[in-house]
Structure 1
Amino acid sequence: MKRNRKVKILATLGPASSEEEMIQKLHEAGADLFRINMSHASHEMMRTLIQRIRNVEQRSGRPIGILADLQGPKLRVGKFAAGKVDLVPGQTFTLDNKEEPGDNTRVFLPHPEILEAVQPGHRLLIDDGRLHLRADRTDGKSIVCTVVAGTKISDRKGVSLPDTLLGVGALTEKDRADLDAVLETDEVDWVALSFIQRPEDLSEVRKVSRGRVGLMSKIEKPQAIERIDEIIELSDALMVARGDLGVEMPLEAVPGLQKQLIRACRRAGKPVVVATQMLESMISAPVPTRAEVSDVATAVFEGADAVMLSAESASGEYPVEAVTTMASIASKVERDPHYPGIIYAQRTPPEATGADAISLAAHQIAETLQLSAIVCYTSSGTTGLRAARERPQVPVLALSPVIQTARRLSVVWGLHSVVTSDATDLDDMVNRACRIVAAEGFGKPGDRVIISAGVPLGTPGATNMLRIAYIGSDGLSGV
């Protein structure tokens, strides 16, 4: 299945898209990998969805990535005697450790870590920012606040803390159980970590997973922005989770942060996913708004590796249409005459390594000679990531003998992954590359391709060779 676009589409599965037939339709419409939201999926449902995705993968003959998104620490207030209460800006309202129903003066906060960490002057945002409180006094057992804005609060609403660094890690007991279940399947390619605050939040998952899954850090807290370079270095990929980020930071700051994060990830050679409300209106409408189309287009113009659908594909009325629309927007942007120049202007100089120099040279040669494709042999995925970092306009085929690598690369910009055994010698390497380019529809007899690989063959991290070859009439090398 050949995609005529570079950016990838990550579709969330849910009640509207959990059946195998629908997963098949979403994949055919353009979804390159699928997200399982562990906030809502039981372990049994997760395993069922994985099996259905793998069935679709087998029929399509294309590697499909799977992302398990851990819930992270969900901070919520307790319940009210009347279910909800009305508040007045300027009044005092207290959050405390008393396990009693709340009223219009106080409510139970079942999170001692918040009671201990919040300091006077800190903001507390309730219900996605609809209620804004300012802490006036704290004693470790209660937080006495002033209502700054908002007039209502009800049971179990979420709490955001844009000014507070919590002393707890990003993993809850539920997350640990979910992570164990994910790793037991040995079929999940990425794990997304919610509410990352600091680089140390990655250490526990890294230790438990031992490289069996890629770690994707969701950036949705101001504290993560402050240490973003360290977080990127320790992550395998990033997700710009604009929903919670827009709650804890000024909304007008989010577009700029999105650009900064995409460019920082590209410099580091790490995949980056842009997520949240991209085609929100398509939850209940068959077409998006013009603003949503522009939003998706902006992420594509910026060079994001992937764009994500959440409720649009998980619980919306038009999941297939949402994927089709997103694919259509991406394809149109990538054909825009300004697109290559914008992407090129954002490029990062290569690092002083042989592999980076080889990837840069392959890009330049392919575009100078107008070759049909760049082919890179990659076992660990590193060579594929380096090739994608250059953002070449020429198609890039990543050939790997490791199915897990091919699936993980499904989130990476521009990579068309193919599972194939290791080449036995240089002639086999060239012939195999030419045959696959022709078979996958990226070239025809008489076309030329450029191949990057490592010698000795099969040695991970040893990319040190380039070879230009013609595709012969039999699909093999004409050289």
Structure 2
Amino acid sequence: MRRYRKVKILATLGPASSDEEMIAKLHEAGADLFRINMSHSSHEMMRTLIERIRSVEKKSGRPIGILADLQGPKLRVGKFADTKVTLVPGQTFTLDNNEAPGDENRVFLPHPEILESVKVGDRLLIDDGKLALRAEKVDGTSITCTVVAGTGISDRKGVSLPDTLLAVGVLTDKDRADLDAVLETDDVDWVALSFVQRPEDLAEVRKIARGRVGIMSKIEKPQALERIDEIIDLSDAVMVARGDLGVEMPIEAVPGIQKQLTRACRRAGKPVVVATQMLESMISAPVPTRAEVSDVSIAVFEGADAIMLSAESASGQYPVEAVSMMASIARKVEDDPLYPSIIYAQRATPEATGADAISLAARQIAETLRLAVIVTYTSSGTTGLRASRERPNVPILALSPSVKTARRLSIGWGMHCVVTHDATDLDDMVNNACRIVASEGFGKPGDRIIISAGVPLGTPGATNMLRIAYIGADGQSGV
């Protein structure tokens, strides 16, 4: 199954898409990876979904990536005596450590880390910003606020803190249990961390994971932007989580932040996913709005590695149509005459390493000689990601002896991953590459290809060789 587009599609599974038949339809429609939202999935359901995805993978013959998205710290107020209260801008309202039911003057806040961290002048946004408060007095046990905007608050509404750096890590007890369950399956490729604030937030997760899954940092806090280069450096991938980011930042700033993050990740050679409300109207409508089509196209024009569907595929009425529409938009953008110049304008300068120089040379040679495909042998996935970082205008065929590597690389821009044996010698390397190029539909007899690999063969991280070959009449290397 070959995709005629370079950007990848990440589809969230849920009530509308949890059975194997629907997962197969979503994959056929264009989903390259699937997201399991641990906020709404039990460990048993997670294992069931993994089994169904792997069954679809086996039948399709294509490696499919799986992302487990950890819930992260969900901050909420307590309950009210009358379920909800009405407030007036300008009045005083207090959040405190008193567990008694709330009223129009105060409410319980079951998060001592917030009570201890908020400073005078900090904003507190309740219920996705519908109620805005400003801290006027703090004493470690209560926060006395002025109501800035909004008129109501009800039980268990979420709290966002755009101005406050919380002295708490990203992993809750639930997240640790979920992460242990994910690692026990040994069948998940990526784990997404919610509400990352600083580079140190990644330390505990890396210690637990020990390289068994890729770590994806979700950028949805203003504090993360202050140290974004360090966070990107310590992450295996990044998600631009625009929903919470748009609550904690001025919503008009989000498009610019999205562009900045996408370009920063491209420079670093780290996969970047653009997520949240991309085709929101397709939750209940069979076609998107024109604004949503433009939103998806912007992410594709910027060279994002993947674009994500959330409720559209998880609980919407048209999950298959949403995936098909996203794939159709992506193909149309990538066929646009302006697409190459926009992509190439953001191309990153290669690092001063042999492997980066080889990847740059492979791209330049492929484009200059108009070769059919760039073939890269990759054990760990590093060489494949370097080739993807170059954003070539020819396809990238990533060959790996590791199914885990192939699955993880399914998120990478432009990569078509195939699991194959490690080459035994140079002739085997070239013949195998030519055979797979032909069988996967990337070339035909007489076409030329370029192959990058490492010598000694099979040595991870040793990319140091390029070879131009052409496909012979028998589908293997010509003389």
Sort the TM-score into its range (normalised by shorter chain): over 0.9
Deviation (angstroms), 1:325: 0.2
- Alignment match, 2:384: 384
- Alignment match, 1:123: 123
Deviations 1:26-78 (A, max 9, x none): 00000000000000000000000000000000000000000000000000000
Give the distance between the partners of 2:462 and 2:119, measured in 1 at CA.
52
1:439 and 2:439 correspond: yes
Give the distance between the partners of 1:393 and 1:27, measured in 2 at CA.
24
1:166 and 2:160 correspond: no
Give the distance between the partners of 2:348 and 2:32, measured in 1 at CA.
26
Q: Please state whether the residue corresponding to 1:321 is helix, strand or coil.
A: helix
**How many equivalent pairs are there?**
479
Deviation (angstroms), 1:386: 0.3
Give the distance between the partners of 2:349 and 2:209, measured in 1 at CA.
32
Deviations 1:314-353 (A, max 9, x none): 0000000000000000000000000000000001111111
- Alignment match, 1:145: 145
- Alignment match, 1:37: 37
User: In the alignment, residue 225 of structure 1 is paired with which amino acid?
Assistant: L
User: In the alignment, residue 476 of structure 2 is paired with which amino acid?
Assistant: L
Deviation (angstroms), 1:145: 0.3
- Alignment match, 2:74: 74
Give the distance between the partners of 2:348 and 2:173, measured in 1 at CA.
40
Deviations 1:164-208 (A, max 9, x none): 000010000000000000000000000000000010000001000
User: In the alignment, residue 385 of structure 1 is paired with which amino acid?
Assistant: L
Structure 2 counterparts to residues 79-98 of structure 1, below 5 A = 79-98=79-98
- Alignment match, 1:361: 361
- Alignment match, 2:283: 283
Give the distance between the partners of 1:348 and 1:299, measured in 2 at CA.
17
- Alignment match, 1:244: 244
Q: Please state whether the residue corresponding to 1:205 is helix, strand or coil.
A: helix
Give the distance between the partners of 1:264 and 1:278, measured in 2 at CA.
21
Give the distance between the partners of 2:80 and 2:290, measured in 1 at CA.
41
Q: Please state whether the residue corresponding to 2:200 is helix, strand or coil.
A: helix
- Alignment match, 2:23: 23
- Alignment match, 2:108: 108
1:344 and 2:344 correspond: yes
- Alignment match, 1:405: 405
Deviation (angstroms), 1:369: 0.7
Q: Percent identity?
A: 84
User: In the alignment, residue 325 of structure 1 is paired with which amino acid?
Assistant: M
User: In the alignment, residue 226 of structure 1 is paired with which amino acid?
Assistant: E
Give the distance between the partners of 1:364 and 1:232, measured in 2 at CA.
27
1:59 and 2:73 correspond: no
- Alignment match, 1:313: 313
Give the distance between the partners of 1:360 and 1:228, measured in 2 at CA.
26
Deviation (angstroms), 1:476: 0.2
Deviations 1:51-107 (A, max 9, x none): 000000000000000000000000000011111111100000000101011111110
Q: Please state whether the residue corresponding to 1:263 is helix, strand or coil.
A: helix
- Alignment match, 1:375: 375
Deviations 1:243-289 (A, max 9, x none): 00000000111100000000000110000000000000000000000
- Alignment match, 2:429: 429
Give the distance between the partners of 1:21 and 1:393, measured in 2 at CA.
34
- Alignment match, 2:272: 272
Give the distance between the partners of 1:384 and 1:152, measured in 2 at CA.
52
TM-score, structure 2 normalization: 1.00
5+ residue gaps, structure 1, are: none
- Alignment match, 1:228: 228
Give the distance between the partners of 1:30 and 1:455, measured in 2 at CA.
36
Q: Please state whether the residue corresponding to 1:136 is helix, strand or coil.
A: strand
- Alignment match, 2:295: 295
- Alignment match, 1:3: 3
Give the distance between the partners of 1:355 and 1:235, measured in 2 at CA.
20
User: In the alignment, residue 46 of structure 1 is paired with which amino acid?
Assistant: M
Deviations 1:210-239 (A, max 9, x none): 000000000000000000000000000000
Deviation (angstroms), 1:291: 0.2
User: In the alignment, residue 158 of structure 2 is paired with which amino acid?
Assistant: G
Deviation (angstroms), 1:424: 0.7
- Alignment match, 1:198: 198
Runs of 4+ in 1 over 3 A off after TM superposition: none
Deviations 1:380-409 (A, max 9, x none): 000000000000010000000000000000
User: In the alignment, residue 478 of structure 1 is paired with which amino acid?
Assistant: G
How large is the RMSD of aligned CA atoms in angstroms? 0.4
Give the distance between the partners of 2:453 and 2:358, measured in 1 at CA.
9
Give the distance between the partners of 1:8 and 1:177, measured in 2 at CA.
29
5+ residue gaps, structure 2, are: none
Q: Please state whether the residue corresponding to 1:199 is helix, strand or coil.
A: coil
User: In the alignment, residue 40 of structure 2 is paired with which amino acid?
Assistant: H
Deviations 1:397-452 (A, max 9, x none): 00000000000000010000000010010000000000000000000011010000
Give the distance between the partners of 1:152 and 1:431, measured in 2 at CA.
69
